[in-house]
Amino acid sequence: MISKWVGKRMVMGIVVLFIVSFLSFFIMQAAPGDPATAFYGGNAQTLTAAEKERITRAYALDRPVAEQYLAWLGETVKGNLGTSSKEGRPVSEIIMERLPNTLLLFSVTMFFIVIGSIWLGTVAGMRAGSIWDKGLSTFSIATSSIPAFWLGILFIYFFAVTLGVLPSSGSSDVDGNGGVVDKVRHLIMPASVLIVTHVGIYARFLQESIKIENSQYYVKVARANGVTERSIRKGIVRNASIPYLNYIAITIPSFFGGSIIVESLFAWAGIGQLTVKAVATKDFPLLMGSIMVTGVLVVVTLFIVDLIMYAIDPKLRKGGVR
Amino acid sequence: MKSRKTLWFWCCLLGLIVFLTVFSSLLAPFSPNKMNMEEVYSAPSSEHWLGTDHLGRDVLSRLLEGGKVTLAVASSSVILSLVIGVVYGGISGYFGGVIDTVMMRLLEALITIPSLIIILVFQAIIQGGMWGMALLIGLTGWLVTARIVRSEFIRLKEEEFVKMANMFGTPVWKILWGHLLRNSIPAIFVVTLFNFAGAIFMEVSLSFLGIGIPPAIPSWGNMLYYAQNDILIGAWWIALFPGIMIFLTILAINFIGEAWKNPERRRVND
Amino acid sequence: MIEVKDLSIEIKDQHITKHIDFTIRRGKITSLIGESGSGKSMTVSALLGLLPIDAKVSGYVMYEGRNILDASVQEMASLRRQDIFTIFQDASNSFNPSVKLGHQLYTFSGERVGDTLDVFNEKMHVILDQLGLAWEVVEQYPFQLSGGMLQRCMIACAFYVEPALLIADEPTSALDMVLQKEFIQLLIRLNEERGTTILLITHDLDIVAEAAHEMAVMQQGTIVEMGTVETVFSNPRDAYTKRLLESRF
């Protein structure tokens, strides 16, 4: 049984995907040149009249814009994202090659950010006025003021150029046969740059929520009745995690933006780097495809966060107000 | 007492950075674009305090000039997003009802799309110059401002003095301007400060990716774009100094914003 | 059982209570009555060892032969856990909003006395029955129940743990008249059936008249009168108490 709230969130996700698709379709319309050749990709001169005719029909290119949009959307939903104009390969193929890298980077960084921020935020939040409490605020402002890519440049200088212990770029060995160890070695720098620049703000948000929760009436009642600190802390963290998750949801889009830049710096072969490459080389079908995929990634991530919130917060489940 | 002192410190630091960059043409020891192939990649020295880059240009001079560009782009984009945000949030908050619901749903959807993606799309097609960049950052950066303005307006609309003004038939524009907007200024100020930091981040990130401000114009982001290659041959000074400037600027803005965000706490700590 | 002697509390150079004395006798319902701001709640906090950090406190709170104002944080924690149960005014906010009531009732009662969940289920079922609460409440969340029901859940825990001292701090002021009466009856039942000593904090003389054996009248941080309810009601000596009693009728 899906509650009204979950349904609402799903509708929201679909609306977002429509907006992203408009954005993507807009590229096709605004891009210079013949749309048919854009979908064909590669060398437009070799395009035969018959092939051109076929593409024109498939995408309704001789019809009004609205029909073109629907035709394009239909093809996109089917998984046909066109052909890269620079590589001459299907866009979906290129994206599928790179998707695992982006998912790996995203899940590893998010995992450490969440674990680290919960630990730091709880320690600091439960000890109001302590050195942890004050220290975390400063730490969070300071680390969130560092441009991630600049920290990345410093890391490269230090760990790759000076010490030579880590590879300066790429997501695997040239032949790609390095196995897990090789993958991890390539992952360390991009991941730690993202973790260091993000863990502070999330920890701080949790810390503030915990402090608010700690001053709630029910906490006073529990303390007065000798409920153990451990069990009180569990309740506080659980309740504070609801606004914290909400904050994660709000900041996920900008986190994706940040990882696009970090992927590019470290030449991490993911969707983010692909998007930037598509912009730089004006490979419009590739750009359209990578934007759509990024949109889907954001929406799916947000939906997962929504489901976790739904599991934690009984008010959402019981249809109460929040 | 301590808190007020630190606030002053950060204000002074930000002021100093703005001063140095605004008067860069007077303060810079060299012309920022003057190349000198005899002196490429020279490390910091008494002549070139912060060294030279791959074309023998003086890093300090480019740093000051680049700051002017970065801060100019950031400020103009912030002004643009401030205007859009106030108008959008103001309409949504003042009228309420269906208009508010529709506008807020749209805003929620837009906020979900990474603004970097939107800017990348437009940069791919238009590839504008410095002001085009400012325009794009401004057009994508108003969402949070709109949200804050809306909630401030909704809160203030319920206040006694606004209800009184309505009853006495004060003209709408006077209520909007004199009551609602004027009393929202502290909140708008804080969000605009953080927006300013965000705009700087956006400019340096895009220029760093090589798809922001045209490479011919020095900016902090553009300097770092070249620095990522220079670092591999050990020329650390080209990357270090622009980054420090960005870091200090954003740090100062964030600390000032923090201090403003919570006036009660500031008073208690005095 | 508890003897408060010369208790003074000061927060930020403001005197909350000044040299107050009163006793809570074993097996009796003692009422501390006064207006809001008279220092009642802070006195409770002092008994529980839960004063704000910046509070300065002096005097004696004698319990089982020792001054609990001198007790360490751990000793106070175990005292609150083993000997005292406290019911607060705002029942709707007394429970964690996102945890099922059953679990919370367990932490307030069964867990305190060291019972397993099974023992708790059995005992609590009986108590809820007696108090007219359906067993189904344990599957519900606090926001699904009314304040009156939540306050009854609280007193159910008191029935369960049978504390040496029950402190009820304005337990009925958030309830309507009918529920107030019911709740006071429950307090009296707890006292009569199980002999529980109760400290009842209130501003309502009707409640004192109905439930308490002894009373202490508090005004602006001092105890102006102390005695059995009968003597104070029939023969008030202090001017403030007289005014209070007159305004009642």
Whether the predicted pLDDT of A121 surpasses 90 = yes
| B59 part of a folded domain | no
What is the span of the domain harbouring residue A237? 96-287
Lowest mean pLDDT among A17-21, A161-165, B227-231, C217-221: B227-231
Whether the predicted pLDDT of B151 surpasses 50 = yes
Quote ipTM for the complex.
Answer: 0.86
In the prediction, which pLDDT does C213 show?
92
Give Cβ neighbours of residue A302 (< 8 Å, ≥ 6 apart). Answer: A9, A13, A249, A252, B112
* Beta bridge partner(s), residue C197: C165
Give Cβ neighbours of residue A198 (< 8 Å, ≥ 6 apart). Answer: A109, A113, A143, A144, A255, A258
| B4 part of a folded domain | no
At CB < 8 A and 24+ separation, what contacts does B85-88 make? B85/B142, B85/B143, B85/B144, B85/B145, B85/B146, B85/B148, B85/B149, B86/B145, B86/B146, B86/B149, B86/B181, B86/B188, B88/B142, B88/B146, B88/B149
pLDDT digits (tens, 9 = 90+) for B167-207: 887 888 888 888 888 888 989 999 999 999 999 999 999 99
The reply to whether A253 touches chain B by the CB within 8 Å rule is: yes
| Total number of domains constituting chain B | 1
Taking CA atoms, what residue in A is nearest to B221?
A150
Q: Evaluate whether chains B and A are touching (3 or more beta carbon pairs less than 8 Å apart).
A: yes
Whether the predicted pLDDT of A150 surpasses 80 = yes
Distance CA A132, CA A141 (A): 14
| A276 part of a folded domain | yes
> pLDDT-derived band of residue B264, with 50, 70 and 90 as boundaries?
very low
| A277 part of a folded domain | yes
Residues A59 and A39 sit within 8 Å (Cβ to Cβ):
yes
| B58 part of a folded domain | no
Q: Evaluate whether chains C and A are touching (3 or more beta carbon pairs less than 8 Å apart).
A: yes
**What percentage of chain A exceeds 90 in pLDDT?**
54
What is the span of the domain harbouring residue B209? 72-265
pLDDT digits (tens, 9 = 90+) for A218-232: 999 998 888 888 889
Q: How far is A221 from chain C, CA to nearest CA, in Å?
A: 6
Contact: A223, C88; criterion CB under 8 Å: no
Nearest-by-Cβ selection for A223 from C50, C99, C112 = C50
| A310 part of a folded domain | no
Residues B234 and B42 sit within 8 Å (Cβ to Cβ):
no
Q: What is the CATH number of the domain that holds B148?
A: 1.10.3720.10
| A138 part of a folded domain | yes
The CATH code of the domain at C2-93+165-248 is: 3.40.50.300
Taking CA atoms, what residue in A is nearest to C169?
A221
Residues C202 and C30 sit within 8 Å (Cβ to Cβ):
no
Q: Where are the beta strands (DSSP E) in chain C?
A: 2-11, 14-24, 29-34, 55-63, 66-67, 84-87, 165-169, 197-202, 214-219, 222-228
Whether the predicted pLDDT of C43 surpasses 70 = yes
Whether the predicted pLDDT of C71 surpasses 80 = yes
Instruction: Find chain A residues with C-beta within 8 A of B121's C-beta.
Output: 23-24, 26-27, 279, 287, 291
Q: Evaluate whether chains B and C are touching (3 or more beta carbon pairs less than 8 Å apart).
A: no
The reply to whether A234 touches chain C by the CB within 8 Å rule is: no
Contact: C108, A227; criterion CB under 8 Å: yes
| Total number of domains constituting chain A | 1
pLDDT digits (tens, 9 = 90+) for C108-119: 988 888 889 999
C146 against A110, higher pLDDT: A110
Handedness of CA A186, A189, A192, A194 (dihedral sign): negative
pTM, full prediction = 0.87
